[in-house]
Chains A and B, each alone.
Chain A
């Protein structure tokens, strides 16, 4: 399987690992089919994501996409983060092979559930 250099770069040097200080939103999701597991934390202030963090266990794209997404959403209004489509998230790592789409779905689901947990406060 061929992965983009951007994806491999995130895999080898993951960003924003762990909960950021003052995190006030989080979600933990698992793909029951492949067992990939992702925990996402956000610190939202004034409706804007000030910091994002994650931990996870999964295949290469699952980890790389979580890392790239944590960078992508930092500084975004929560509403805009909610609207992020899967192809946009995947684009941050140069795209993901078709049968690895579950990795992007996992990240998007975790992000939206974390945003929802904040809304529910």
Chain B
């Protein structure tokens, strides 16, 4: 079913070049890369080449690239591995209130079940983590700090370089969840003092089920998945060769026109926002207007409900996302919107539009027309706008 897809922060379609690169490893070259025969060696060579490509894109060493099943596994492995490896030095962990649940729930689990102490740094209304707040949270026994590069809901971009230097000087391990940032923000790990970094292919037009955990050489970190000796004994399990090849190709392609595409997307996003604010009274932007991903727009319209917006948009062929409780199966609206102090009714009324490579100006104009009519209709039955 075709439609207008404005949910690229949830996932992205696989680029044709990526699919083409993966196809041989989905059909003809199916051998286990750990086997001895020539077909297996072809698979091994493809993994090695992919590792070199990813390392070059991130300006890291190939030995520092660990292939995983995606962002959630990378986050879990990074945090559990660093916490357990560092527990002799200290048992204090630091993260922020707006992290993805893959980080937040893992940190909470380390505290609840393994006796670590966790400090969750508050984030102000603009959605930007303050470096001074991280500094205040650090203690002599802090072993691990985790801060996301860009937020998945409101798109805000964090001052990662400053936080990385701070954490490095404090002697703790620093993990960055870069799942939303990759593809939009240049990542240079040769100069950035980050120890662990998570990526997920399907967020940058690669396949689902494929991710990367960057582990800087020398970082105190224990593997969390036992079994075979794959990934230099850092991530057991038969390699997803097609997924790995697709991830590398997608990351490589993302570098090619990143600046031009980011500029195009930010202009399109700003056009949508300007038009929304002109047409729909009471449009509230969630998160900083400038320091955010070029494709991310998160807005609230008072008097409406996020799920009603999403279903109304879907009935018109437009796919988007919301931080309202009903859309996530939770009774609570988005923990990110609540953490930055968005009032509950506005959090319930939020809409996330995330544009992508295929989003056209025409699609944006159609979405604006539909959204304008939908908000008016929902407000016409609402009490506040009676």
Contacts and interface: CB of A to CB of B under 8 A. Distances in A.
Contact of B307 (A8, A37, A55, A60): A60
B384 A57 contact: yes
Interface string A52-66: 001111111011000
A18 B386 contact: yes
A34 interface: yes
Contacts of A12: 312, 315
A33 B324 CA distance: 12
A17 B311 contact: no
B378 to A, nearest CB: 8
Contacts of A11: 308, 311-312
B386 A59 contact: no
B325 A34 contact: yes
Contacts of B383: 28, 37, 39, 55-57
B44 interface: no
Interface string B286-305: 00000000000000000111
A35 interface: yes
State the majority secondary structure of interface residues on A.
mixed
B225 to A, nearest CB: 34
A91 interface: no
Contacts of A28: 383
Interface residues of B, number: 23
Nearest to A13: B377
A35 B311 contact: no
A98 to B, nearest CB: 12
A121 interface: no
Given A14-B381, A34-B325, A58 B311 contact: no
B344 A35 contact: yes
A34 B308 contact: no
A33 B331 contact: yes
B348 interface: yes
B326 A59 contact: yes
Nearest to B308: A60
Contacts of B312: 11-12
B311 A60 contact: yes
Contacts of A60: 307-308, 311
A55 B331 contact: no
A56 B326 contact: no
Contact of B305 (A3, A55, A57): A57
Contacts of B344: 35
Which of B329, B331, B344, B383 has the most chain A CB atoms inside 10 A of its CB? B383
B311 A56 contact: no
A21 B329 CA distance: 39
B20 interface: no
Given A57-B303, A62-B305, 9 more contacts: A12-B315, A17-B380, A34-B326, A35-B348, A57-B383, A58-B305, A63-B308, A63-B381, A99-B329
Interface of A: 3, 8, 11-12, 14, 17-18, 28, 33-37, 39, 54-60, 62-63, 99-100
29 contacts: A3-B311, A8-B311, A11-B308, A11-B312, A12-B312, A14-B381, A28-B383, A33-B331, A35-B345, A35-B348, A36-B305, A39-B383, A55-B381, A56-B381, A56-B382, A56-B383, A57-B305, A57-B382, A57-B383, A57-B384, A58-B305, A58-B308, A59-B307, A59-B308, A59-B326, A60-B307, A62-B305, A63-B381, A100-B326
* Complex A-B, nearest 10 residue pairs according to Cβ-Cβ distance, in ascending order: A59-B307, A59-B326, A57-B382, A60-B311, A55-B383, A17-B381, A35-B348, A58-B305, A59-B305, A14-B381
